Amino acid sequence: MSPTRVAPTTQGTVSPVTTSGSADCATDLSAPEIRRAVATVPPYDAGGGDTWAWNDNPPALRGTYNRCSTLSVVVVTIQRATASSPEHALLFHKGDYVGTATPKAQAFTTIDTGAGTDDTVVLTYKTPGSCNACPDGTSTTVSFHWNGSGVDVQGRPPIN
Q: How far apart are CA 8 and CA 151, in angstroms?
A: 10
Distance of CA 146 to CAs 58, 59, 91, 116, 152, Å? 25, 27, 10, 12, 6
What is the arithmetic mean of pLDDT over 119-137?
Answer: 83
pLDDT digits (tens, 9 = 90+) for 57-86: 999 999 999 999 999 999 999 999 998 899
pTM > 0.75: yes or no: yes
Q: Which helix (H) or strand (E) holds 77?
A: strand 72-77
CA angle 23, 40, 48 (to 5 degrees): 150
